[in-house]
């Protein structure tokens, strides 16, 4: 939810890689120039690039399986398939079960848009060990992301300033400054990435996935999409319904919403998650260090943010914790119940004048590493969102909509409302009001919604099921907290997903796990 760029639905896995934490294989040219016939040259994976978030080369899985990397050639412009090409970075771990039990490749997209699958999959590979018995686990950097023709915008130093600015302006001067910086960011994207910007839409990435399916040698695309990855999967199913194999959508984007409706839904979702956090802290047998009642917890957080607007506190030197950075850090911690203890500790320290923990959480959301380098998460997120979303909101329009957003969330309403201007003056026109995911003729797609999800509210799962069409979407409800369900380790959810992906057993529609 990094502001002013609107993170439509960033998966926890993407941000957690950044918080806790050139491919050498190029596809061989096919003799006839048909990219579906290219051979991938799989080699040991290098350390992630700066655009992917940096760090060390991926470690083997606990069973000793090594990660392999390669680059697939894809058309820069899918309307000109014989024209210029770009490289799509891939990573895989070969199936470790009996060869005669191997199903094929299972392709993951972890969300964003803008998250690097090449760094995220190995970081969380052990969570999918059961699926690795029958599938090659595969992920990729979508076009515009990481090592795949990455979008470049501002320098690291300029991004530090960009993410510290006042993202909830209160008067005309502050509104003008927010708009000026947004336009400056967008102009930098156009200047530094002019060639690739028109070609990073979700429909382009979906076509890359179908090429990937063929190059990997699979008759059907078996797919696990998380967060924005559910939107990408839905668009793929719309374009290639007959090519869908076994597919799971987890932490589901509502495909019927435009950008404003999505932002408003997130305001409600993050407010719900904050309410649940406050209740959880004050319901424990031990004393909650940040308030005696849920209401007091929320009131103290609101006061902290108001105080930070007037006077920031020390963060990670030389940067200070501003109101924007603190709001961003709080939002990041609400993506997973596992992060709630860090939010409690971060708030407790901030009340004492130390903003390090909240700033670390904010940096994670923005793709900033400890050495001050940014991944291209924010740049790619803006490029993909603004290419997909047709709406272009003005400052006056946002001002008129503020009451609705404030009613949805006193804490996050203004923040998400003003994020809607992120595509103002974007160089490439947006494609549509919302994606088309109708997929008549597709194999069943398991759609998993989490009732406590802040970033992709639960209602989106049912909307996705309906939009996919009769006989395609199969809904599963998880009564839990956090962004996504499978990685919650809930046995009921994991059993249903594994039974479908491994054995083709479609669960009964309407299954509820808690």
Measured over the CA atoms of residue 152, residue 157, residue 160 and residue 162, the dihedral's sign is negative
Percent of the chain with pLDDT over 90: 93
Map tokens 């199969």 to a residue. 474
Average pLDDT over residues 204-226: 98
Map tokens 């392709």 to a residue. 107
Query: What digits encode the pLDDT tens for the residues 111-164?
Result: 999 999 999 999 999 999 999 999 999 999 999 999 999 999 999 999 999 999
Average pLDDT over residues 503-508: 97
Query: What digits encode the pLDDT tens for the residues 90-108?
Result: 999 999 999 999 999 999 9
Q: How confident is the model at residue 2 (pLDDT cuts 50, 70, 90)?
A: very low
Q: How confident is the model at residue 32 (pLDDT cuts 50, 70, 90)?
A: very low
At 199 the pLDDT is 98
Asked whether the predicted pLDDT for residue 70 surpasses 60, the reply is: yes
At 33 the pLDDT is 59
Average pLDDT over residues 378-387: 98
Q: How confident is the model at residue 221 (pLDDT cuts 50, 70, 90)?
A: very high
At 285 the pLDDT is 85
Asked whether the predicted pLDDT for residue 371 surpasses 80, the reply is: yes
Query: What digits encode the pLDDT tens for the residues 265-323?
Result: 999 999 999 999 999 999 998 999 999 999 999 999 999 999 999 999 999 999 999 99
Q: What 3-state class would DSSP assign to 436?
A: coil
Asked whether the predicted pLDDT for residue 330 surpasses 50, the reply is: yes
Query: Residue 116 and residue 170: Cα distance in Å, rounded?
Result: 35
Percent of the chain with pLDDT over 70: 94
At 48 the pLDDT is 97
183-188 long-range contacts (CB < 8 A, ≥24 apart) are 183/424, 183/425, 185/4, 185/5, 185/153, 185/154, 185/382, 186/153, 186/382, 186/386, 186/423, 186/424, 186/425, 186/426, 186/427, 187/425, 188/153, 188/154, 188/158
At 438 the pLDDT is 98
Q: What 3-state class would DSSP assign to 245?
A: strand
**pTM for the model:** 0.93
Q: What does pLDDT average to over the chain?
A: 93
Q: How confident is the model at residue 484 (pLDDT cuts 50, 70, 90)?
A: very high
At 26 the pLDDT is 33
Average pLDDT over residues 35-61: 96
23-29 long-range contacts (CB < 8 A, ≥24 apart) are 23/69, 23/70, 23/71, 23/87, 23/89, 23/90, 23/118, 23/147, 24/69, 25/68, 25/69, 25/70, 25/71, 26/70, 26/71, 26/73, 26/87, 27/70, 27/71, 27/72, 27/73, 27/215
Q: Give the chain's largest Cα–Cα span.
A: 71
Asked whether the predicted pLDDT for residue 370 surpasses 60, the reply is: yes
At 367 the pLDDT is 95
Query: What digits encode the pLDDT tens for the residues 417-455?
Result: 999 999 999 999 999 999 999 999 999 999 999 999 999
Q: How buried is residue 126: exposed, middle or buried, by Cβ count under 10 Å (0-12/13-18/19+)? A: exposed
Asked whether the predicted pLDDT for residue 62 surpasses 80, the reply is: yes
Q: What residues are paired with 449 via a beta bridge? A: 477
Asked whether the predicted pLDDT for residue 340 surpasses 90, the reply is: yes
């Amino acid at each position: 939810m990094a502001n002013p760029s609107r993170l439509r639905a960033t998966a926890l896995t993407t941000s957690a890689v950044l918080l806790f934490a050139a491919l050498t294989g190029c596809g061989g040219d096919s003799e006839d120039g048909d990219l579906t016939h290219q051979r991938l040259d799989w080699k040991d994976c290098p350390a992630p690039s700066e655009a992917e978030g940096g760090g060390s080369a991926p470690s083997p899985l606990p069973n000793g399986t090594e990660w392999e990397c390669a680059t697939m050639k894809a058309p820069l412009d899918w309307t000109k398939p014989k024209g210029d090409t770009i490289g799509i970075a891939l990573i895989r771990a070969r199936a470790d079960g009996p060869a005669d039990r191997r199903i094929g490749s299972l392709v993951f997209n972890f969300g964003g848009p803008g998250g690097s699958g090449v760094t995220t999959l190995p970081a969380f590979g052990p969570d999918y060990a059961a699926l690795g018995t029958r599938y090659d686990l595969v992920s990729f950097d979508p076009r515009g992301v990481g090592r795949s023709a990455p979008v470049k915008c501002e320098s690291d130093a300029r991004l530090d300033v960009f993410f510290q600015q006042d993202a909830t302006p209160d008067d005309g001067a502050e509104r003008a400054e927010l708009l000026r910086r947004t336009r400056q960011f967008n102009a930098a994207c156009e200047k530094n990435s002019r060639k690739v910007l028109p070609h990073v839409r979700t429909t382009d990435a979906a076509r890359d996935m179908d090429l990937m399916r063929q190059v990997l040698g699979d008759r059907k695309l078996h797919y696990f999409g998380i967060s924005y990855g559910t939107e990408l999967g839905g668009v793929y199913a719309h374009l290639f319904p007959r090519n869908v194999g076994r597919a799971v959508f987890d932490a589901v984007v509502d495909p019927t919403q435009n950008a404003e409706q999505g932002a408003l839904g997130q305001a409600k979702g993050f407010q719900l998650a904050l309410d649940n956090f406050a209740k959880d802290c004050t319901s424990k047998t031990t004393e909650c260090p940040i308030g005696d009642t849920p209401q007091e917890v929320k009131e103290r957080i609101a006061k902290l943010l108001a105080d930070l607007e007037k006077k920031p506190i020390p963060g990670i030197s030389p940067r200070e914790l501003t109101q924007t950075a603190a709001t961003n850090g709080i939002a990041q911690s609400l993506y997973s119940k596992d992060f709630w203890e860090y939010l409690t500790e971060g708030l407790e320290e901030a009340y004492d004048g130390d903003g390090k923990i909240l700033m670390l959480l904010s940096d994670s959301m923005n793709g900033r590493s400890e050495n001050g380098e940014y991944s291209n998460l924010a740049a790619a997120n803006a490029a993909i969102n603004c290419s997909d979303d047709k709406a272009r909101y003005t400052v006056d329009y946002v001002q008129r909509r503020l009451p609705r957003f404030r009613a949805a969330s006193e804490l996050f309403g203004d923040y998400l409302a003003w994020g809607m201007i992120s595509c103002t003056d974007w160089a490439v026109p947006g494609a549509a009001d919302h994606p088309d995911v109708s997929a008549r003729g597709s194999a069943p797609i398991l759609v998993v919604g989490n009732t406590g999800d802040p970033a992709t509210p639960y209602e989106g799962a049912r909307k996705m099921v309906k939009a996919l069409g009769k006989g395609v979407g199969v809904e599963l409800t998880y009564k839990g907290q956090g962004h996504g369900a499978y990685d919650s380790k809930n046995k009921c959810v994991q059993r249903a997903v594994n039974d479908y992906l491994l054995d083709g057993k479609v669960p009964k529609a309407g299954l509820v796990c808690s």
